[in-house]
Amino acid sequence: MTKIKQNNIKFFSQKTIKAIKYYVYALVNPKTENIFYIGKGSKNRCFKSWKEQNQKKDFIPRIDIIRYGLSEEDALEIEAAVIDSIGVKNIDNEVRGHKIEKSRIVASDLNLQLGGEKLNVEEIKDNVILFFPHKALARGENLYDSTRQYWAVSKGKISKKTDSGDLFYKYVFGMKNEYVLDVYEIIEWFPAGTTISSRTFNDDGKTRWEFIGKNISQKIEKLYKNKRLYERGSPLITPQRGIRYLEI
């Protein structure tokens, strides 16, 4: 890594500008050696950032050039990769960079993203409930229990029956973003916290429910499991409540 001393330099020479092309730079706290900003630039872009940040900090930042002699495309890729490696929450950057379609991602999610088949919600042939247990999964909790518990669902909807007496909503999709991680067939619904579980139920005073499920048929698994759901041409958006009812 090439370090630029701040005592005498306020801009690059024309010879340097020609040689470095596009580059990725870091603004560093010289007292702690911690990077607090990552940027992509050409010419004297890094010094403009330095002036902006210099007014906000109680120290004079140092500019470090991480990589140089790059094309703009490569500089964008490296900028995003460095931000991902540090973590955007640990620096002053407001976004993860400009080239994030191939950015940091959990390996299992990448496998679904690249290997999962696209399925439009309009093509789903069953009445299903989509549950998005993102917080529970982030804590490393069991997928099945995270999917089936503890939801503030509509009692009227989960109790609804078909003319033949079967549950109207027959299947549940355990979701992560737009990806179907697993599919369960509902046997019966129960008040939250009344069935054996790997999780602990924290009663918040809201009426919540959980279901007991069973294994699905190979036909249903092939139709829905590990699919990437789309709606009107775009990846399915996670609903704010973490619940989505789909009716055929």
- pLDDT tens-digit map of 161-211: 999 999 999 999 999 889 999 999 999 999 999 999 999 999 888 999 999
Closest CA to 245 of 185, 183, 180, 158: 158
Question: 135-143 — which CB contacts under 8 Å span 24+ positions?
Answer: 136/199, 137/176, 141/198, 141/199, 142/198, 142/199, 143/174, 143/181, 143/182
Q: Is the pLDDT of residue 248 over 90?
A: no
Contacts of 50 (CB under 8 A, 6+ apart): 6, 27, 61, 63
- Count of CB atoms situated within 10 Å of the CB of 199: 16
Domains of the chain: 2-90 (3.40.1440), 107-246 (no CATH)
Return the higher-pLDDT residue of 109 and 97: 109
Q: Is the pLDDT of residue 4 over 50?
A: no
Average pLDDT for the chain: 86
**Average pLDDT, stretch 42-63?**
84
Distance in angstroms (rounded) separating the CA atoms of residues 64 and 82: 13
**Average pLDDT, stretch 49-67?**
83
* pLDDT value of position 74: 92
**Taking the CA of residue 71 as centre, how many other CA atoms within 13 Å lie in the half-sphere pointing to its CB?**
3
- Count of CB atoms situated within 10 Å of the CB of 33: 9
* pLDDT value of position 89: 72
Distance in angstroms (rounded) separating the CA atoms of residues 146 and 137: 7
With cut-offs at 50, 70 and 90, classify the pLDDT of residue 156.
very high
Q: Are 67 and 38 in contact (CB under 8 A)?
A: no
Question: 167-171 — which CB contacts under 8 Å span 24+ positions?
Answer: 168/127, 169/127, 169/128, 169/129, 169/245, 170/126, 170/127, 170/128, 171/126, 171/127, 171/128, 171/129, 171/216, 171/220, 171/224
* pLDDT value of position 140: 80
With cut-offs at 50, 70 and 90, classify the pLDDT of residue 3.
very low
With cut-offs at 50, 70 and 90, classify the pLDDT of residue 133.
very high
- Token code pair at residue 215: 């294994």
Q: Is the pLDDT of residue 58 over 90?
A: no
* pLDDT value of position 84: 82
| Residue located via tokens 């955007």 | 88
With cut-offs at 50, 70 and 90, classify the pLDDT of residue 6.
very low
The CA R_g of the chain, rounded to the nearest whole Å, is 25
Q: What is the pTM of this model?
A: 0.60
Residue type, 68: Y
Q: Is the pLDDT of residue 37 over 70?
A: yes
